[in-house]
Amino acid sequence: GTRLIIDTDPGVDDAFAIALAALSEDVDLLGVTTVFGNVPLAATTRNAQRVLALCGRSDVPVAAGAERPLVHPHPHRAHYAHGVDGLSGRSQVLPEPERELERADAVELLVSLLNAADEPVTIAPIGPLTNIAALLAAHPGVREKIDRVVIMGGALGHGNTTAAAEFNIWSDPEAARRVLTGGEVSCVLVPMDLTYRCAVDAEWLAKLNGSGPIGTALYALTPDYREHYNRALGWDGIVMHDAVAVAEAIKPGILRTERFPIDVDCTHGPSRGATLVDRRRAELRDDTEATDEVADVRVGTDTDLDGLRGFVLD
Ligand code: BDR
Ligand code: CA
């Protein structure tokens, strides 16, 4: 099965994504690393530990990473979507963490897990890319141990945090640029355009709620997040962004992906954090090898929407 490390900022949809990996057969979840993002690092870390405890996965080590972006001095927050504690104010419905946080920080845990792995590992970053950029900068040798980096982030059209930028990329554009254009690792970028199309409705959420104790607890984390999407979209349901990326990480090919040249706007103008996915040149979109000109980045562009929703629910 897929060897996987999730780097995360829970976050309601992160909680779904962690549970998806933690409960899937044939996935070897080696570790979870945390990053600032939706809420501050202490809260994202605690939330990740609680979700693993809910899933009975206290065998999975958790290490805390960056508290702020690589360059920009201040972290951004998304309490407006994820509630006071990052889980709609409901993190107390989850069990207390059973396993102590690692003494190692996120980068140290990533290095030791990658070095110990006998086969290449998939990393699924579903928050700001700060930890992954720091890993690649400080430990270039580990890239040989990385199979793919499957990222939730970016936007082909408009953003969700600014007109141009999606939250994870906007949170640390310099880190995102380092990972996506450094040419060191194969990346799959799962942008918000696709994750929005995979949104789940009230009926899906009711099925989750009725699926057993874990589903009921995950459902209990959704009210503030659901209310956010109600206000934003005038529609009752949620967008489970991060679970779409983790679905691709654990079931390669569940998303249709295409290779495109990509860059990230790191200027301080109105497009800061935009992902510039160059869809002009058809010849760069096929399965030809990455070149010096084009880093190996594939972008998720389509999927069987109901198939994806059913896979996550199962
Ligand atoms: C991304 O931003 C966060 O709020 C979500 O957890 C997801 O990773 C969506 O833009
Ligand atoms: Ca996230």
Q: Which pLDDT does position 308 carry in this prediction? A: 98
Q: Which pLDDT does position 292 carry in this prediction? A: 58
Strand partners, 275: 264
Q: What is the pLDDT of residues 199-252, one digit of tens each?
A: 999 999 999 999 999 999 999 999 999 999 999 889 999 999 999 999 999 999
Q: If you average pLDDT over residues 150-177, what whole number do you get? A: 98
Q: If you average pLDDT over residues 160-173, what whole number do you get? A: 98
Q: If you average pLDDT over residues 83-100, what whole number do you get? A: 96
H-only helix segments in the chain: 12-23, 41-54, 79-82, 106-116, 130-138, 167-171, 173-181, 192-197, 202-209, 213-220, 223-233, 241-250, 305-313
Q: Which pLDDT does position 74 carry in this prediction? A: 87
Q: Whose CA is nearest to atom 10 of ligand 1?
A: 167
Task: Give me ligand 1 centre to Cα 119, in Å.
Answer: 29
Q: What is the 3-state secondary structure (H, E, C) of 168-219?
A: HHHHCHHHHHHHHHCCCCCEEEECHHHHHHCCEEHHHHHHHHCCCHHHHHHH
CA distance 86 to 199: 19
Q: Indicate if the pLDDT at residue 107 is higher than 90.
A: yes
CA distance 132 to 137: 9
Tokens of 177: 């640029």
Q: If you average pLDDT over residues 20-28, what whole number do you get? A: 97
CA distance 6 to 13: 13
Pick the atom of ligand 1 nearest to 160's CA: 10
The average confidence (pLDDT) of the chain is 95
Q: Which pLDDT does position 286 carry in this prediction? A: 57
Q: Which pLDDT does position 212 carry in this prediction? A: 97
Q: Indicate if the pLDDT at residue 73 is higher than 90.
A: no
Task: Give me ligand 2 centre to Cα 39, in Å.
Answer: 10
> Is 21:14 a contact under the CB 8 Å cutoff?
no
What residues are labeled active site? 241
**What's the residue count for the chain?**
314
Q: Which pLDDT does position 296 carry in this prediction? A: 87
Q: If you average pLDDT over residues 164-174, what whole number do you get? A: 98
Q: Ligand 1 pocket: which of 36, 44, 168, 238 to mutate (most atoms <8 Å of CB)?
A: 168
Q: If you average pLDDT over residues 106-116, what whole number do you get? A: 98
Task: Give me ligand 2 centre to Cα 126, in Å.
Answer: 5
Q: Which pLDDT does position 290 carry in this prediction? A: 61
Q: Which pLDDT does position 280 carry in this prediction? A: 85
Ligand positioned closest to the Cα atom of 194: 1
Q: If you average pLDDT over residues 62-74, what whole number do you get? A: 95
pTM of the model: 0.96
Q: Ligand 1 pocket: which of 242, 244, 248 to mutate (most atoms <8 Å of CB)?
A: 242
Ligand 1 binding site (Cβ under 6 Å of any ligand atom): 11, 13-14, 38, 78, 81, 126-127, 152, 160, 166-168, 192, 241-242
Ligand positioned closest to the Cα atom of 12: 1
Task: Give me ligand 1 centre to Cα 58, in Å.
Answer: 25
Q: Show Cβ contacts of residue 53 under 8 Å, excluding neighbours closer than 6 positions.
A: 94, 95, 96, 97, 98, 99
SS3 74: coil
Neighbours of ion ligand 2 (CB under 5 A): 9, 11, 14, 126-127, 242
Q: If you average pLDDT over residues 8-33, what whole number do you get? A: 97
Please, which pLDDT band fits residue 294 given cuts at 50, 70 and 90? Answer: low
Q: Whose CA is nearest to atom 4 of ligand 1?
A: 38
From 236, 164, 246, select the one nearest 203 (Cα to Cα): 236
Task: Give me ligand 1 centre to Cα 294, in Å.
Answer: 26
Half-sphere exposure of 127 toward its Cβ, with a 13 Å CA cutoff?
37
Q: Which pLDDT does position 219 carry in this prediction? A: 98
Longest distance between any two alpha carbons in the chain, whole Å:
52
Please, which pLDDT band fits residue 15 given cuts at 50, 70 and 90? Answer: very high
Q: Indicate if the pLDDT at residue 122 is higher than 60.
A: yes
- Please list the helix, strand and coil fractions of the chain in percent, rounded to the nearest 5, in that order: 40, 20, 40
> 29-33, 74-78, 121-125, 195-199: which has the minimum mean pLDDT?
74-78
Q: Ligand 1 pocket: which of 6, 8, 12, 13 to mutate (most atoms <8 Å of CB)?
A: 13
